[in-house]
Structure 1
Amino acid sequence: MINYNQTLSCLKAKKLIPLEEQEQMNFVSWLRVQKIKHIHIANERIASVVYKKKLKALGTYAGFPDLMIFLPNKILFIEMKRSDKRLSRVSKEQKEWIDFLDIWSENLYSVSTAKVCYGASEAIEFVKENL
């Protein structure tokens, strides 16, 4: 018999699985403590159609990774997702950007790399691997 307390529905209802933005805030806090330069690419917006058109004209693109991390010899691009992969979906545009940035990196002798990270822990490990 299935125990409801162990189901995904129960965990979500009890808010035991952090949202993507909570994961990203935890990761950014770690970056700040480590004094690692970074920037959030604010592509997500709830805005009017007129303002979204303006943002597009200014150069925003759907799917661009959430964060750029500046390490001494490398730039990391990270698309943050919830730690539970069952609750996260990588959009077509996000996949296209990650693939593009990886190919671009290979052509530039690995000065950058891109990855979808599921949760703050995975993002921290990704940064540590590239330090």
Structure 2
Amino acid sequence: MINYNQTLASLKAKKLIPLEEQEQIKFVSWLRVKKIRHIHIANERMCSVVYKKKLKALGTYAGFPDLMIFLPNRTLFIEMKRSDKRLSRVSKEQNKWLEFLNLLDEGSAKVCYGADEAIDFVKENL
């Protein structure tokens, strides 16, 4: 018999699975403590159609990774997702950007499921 307390619905209802933004805040806090330069690409804005068109004209692209991390000889691109893969979906546009960015000689791109995976990715590239 299935125990409801261990189902995905129960975990979500109890808020035991952090949101993507909570994972990203945890990861960015770690980057700041380690004094690793980074930037968040804010392309998930809720705004009017007119402003979205303006952003697109200015060079914003759907699917570009959430974060760029600048290491001495490498730039990392991270698309953050929730730690539970069942709650996250990588879009077609995100996959295309990740494939392109991984072709760069001095770059690496990855989908990271949770802050811990993102931290490990940075440590592997230091």
Query: TM-score scaled to structure 2, two decimals?
Result: 0.99
Could you tell me which residue of structure 2 aligns to residue 112 of structure 1?
107
Could you tell me which residue of structure 2 aligns to residue 42 of structure 1?
42
3-state SS in 2 of match to 1:15? coil
- Once the two structures are TM-superposed, the CA of residue 25 in structure 1 deviates from its matched residue by 0.3
Cα deviation digits, residues 37-62 of structure 1 (max 9, x gap): 00000000110000000000000000
Cα deviation digits, residues 8-33 of structure 1 (max 9, x gap): 00000000000000000000000000
- Once the two structures are TM-superposed, the CA of residue 7 in structure 1 deviates from its matched residue by 0.3
Could you tell me which residue of structure 1 aligns to residue 124 of structure 2?
129
User: Quick one: distance in 1 between partners of 2:23 and 2:35?
Assistant: 18
Q: How many residues align?
A: 126
3-state SS in 1 of match to 2:108? strand
The within-5 A match list for 1:1-131 is 1-103=1-103, 105=104, 108=105, 111-131=106-126
- AA paired with 1:66? D
Percent identity, aligned pairs only?
A: 82
CA RMSD of aligned residues (A): 0.5
Unaligned segments of structure 1, at least 5 residues: none
User: Quick one: distance in 2 between partners of 1:36 and 1:45?
Assistant: 25
Structure 1 stretches of at least 4 aligned residues deviating more than 2 Å after TM superposition: none
- AA paired with 2:121? F
- AA paired with 2:69? I
Cα deviation digits, residues 42-83 of structure 1 (max 9, x gap): 000110000000000000000000000001111000000000
Unaligned segments of structure 2, at least 5 residues: none
User: Quick one: distance in 1 between partners of 2:71 and 2:40?
Assistant: 15
User: Quick one: distance in 2 between partners of 1:21 and 1:100?
Assistant: 25
